[in-house]
Every structure is written in C-alpha cells, then in structure tokens.
C-alpha cells in the first residue's frame, strides 16, 4: 500500500547509499545511458565548483558547489545513482546484526 510521508522517511536509505566510498557508487547518464563508478567520471573543478561529466558523452551529470552556506549538489543529466553490484543493502539495522 502506497503511503505519503515526509522526506524524513528516506533518511535511512540515503545514509545507506552514502555509507561506503562514494566514488564507487554507479552513476547512470540520462543522456547516453552509460553506467560506471563515480570515480571514473570526468571532473572539471575550480575553487567554487566541480562539474561532473559523463566520460562517454561529456554531458554534465551533476555539479557540486562549494558555497558560503555549505556544499550543494545540482543535478543535471544524472539519471541514477546506485550502489555497485554486490554491495550490501541499506536496510536499517543491517550493520547492527551481531554487535
């Protein structure tokens, strides 16, 4: 059954997604469909921004901004960001098993 809740409900999933090395997350380009680890993308950077581009088609996947108020991510052609195959899931409490 579908439920409508607020964004606090996805805190566990997002924490799970970024728990491991973020450069190993698989990015899928919405322009050409290429998929690969974030660490394999092309990044153009200066003191204020890092533009992350698809290595296959060079479209901007997303931009990381270092602004006075803090870091921000502006999504562009990034269609999907996912854990690499074989990565443990993000079910809450999974890491607590056996502690």
Residues that bind Zn ion (CB under 5 A): 29, 31-32, 34, 54, 56-57
C-beta of 50 vs 76, nearer to Zn ion: 76
**Nearest residue to 27 (alpha-carbon basis) of 87, 79, 90, 86:** 79
User: 12: Cβ–Cβ under 8 A, 6 or more apart, which residues?
Assistant: 90, 92
CB of 65 to Zn ion, least distance (A): 21
C-beta of 51 vs 54, nearer to Zn ion: 54
C-beta of 56 vs 83, nearer to Zn ion: 56
**How many C-alpha atoms does 67 have within 13 Å on its Cβ side?**
9
């Amino acid at each position: 059954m579908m439920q409508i809740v607020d964004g606090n409900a996805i805190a566990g999933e997002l924490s799970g997604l970024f728990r491991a090395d973020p450069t190993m997350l698989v990015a899928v380009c919405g322009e050409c469909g290429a998929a690969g680890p974030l660490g394999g993308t092309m990044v153009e950077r200066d003191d204020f921004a890092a533009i992350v581009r698809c290595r296959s088609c060079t479209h901007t996947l997303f931009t990381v901004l270092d602004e006075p108020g803090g870091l921000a991510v502006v999504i562009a052609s990034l269609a999907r960001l996912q854990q690499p195959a074989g990565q443990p899931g993000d079910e809450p409490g999974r890491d607590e098993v056996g502690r």
